[in-house]
Amino acid sequence: MKTKSFKDLIVWQKSYNLVIEIYKMTGLFPKEEMYGLSQQMRRASIGIPSNIAEGYGRQYSKEYKQFLSMAYGSLCELETQYLLAIDLGFST
């Protein structure tokens, strides 16, 4: 089945849902983290589906691969921040 939109991509759907979960989780962080780790995690999570979508909309596969690479970079950034949140006791 050919995709008609980036929204048909399972990876985009899962990353979109991840953003929602990150927003819920960071909403429970201490108030002093509102502009620290919380914002960093939100930005990194948003970068994942955003780059997948932007890459999908590009005309050339080389550009698509570049945007997928950026999405993966954001995912790695988010993983690091998530581990910090656990170690700091902000999340389980």
State the residue for tokens 């989780």: 25
Structural domain harbouring 82: 10-87
pLDDT(2) > 70: yes
In a domain? residue 2? no
pLDDT(1) > 80: no
Tell me how far CA of residue 56 lies from CA of 2, 15, 16, 60, 74, in angstroms.
Answer: 13, 14, 15, 9, 17
**Could you tell me the CATH number of the domain that includes residue 51?**
1.20.1440.60
Alpha helices in 6-60 (DSSP H): 10-26, 37-56
The DSSP output letter for 74 is H
In a domain? residue 5? no
Per-residue model confidence as pLDDT tens digits over 33-66: 989 999 999 999 999 999 999 999 998 999 999 9
| C-alpha span between 25 and 92 (Å, rounded) | 10
In a domain? residue 28? yes
Q: What is the mean pLDDT of the chain?
A: 95
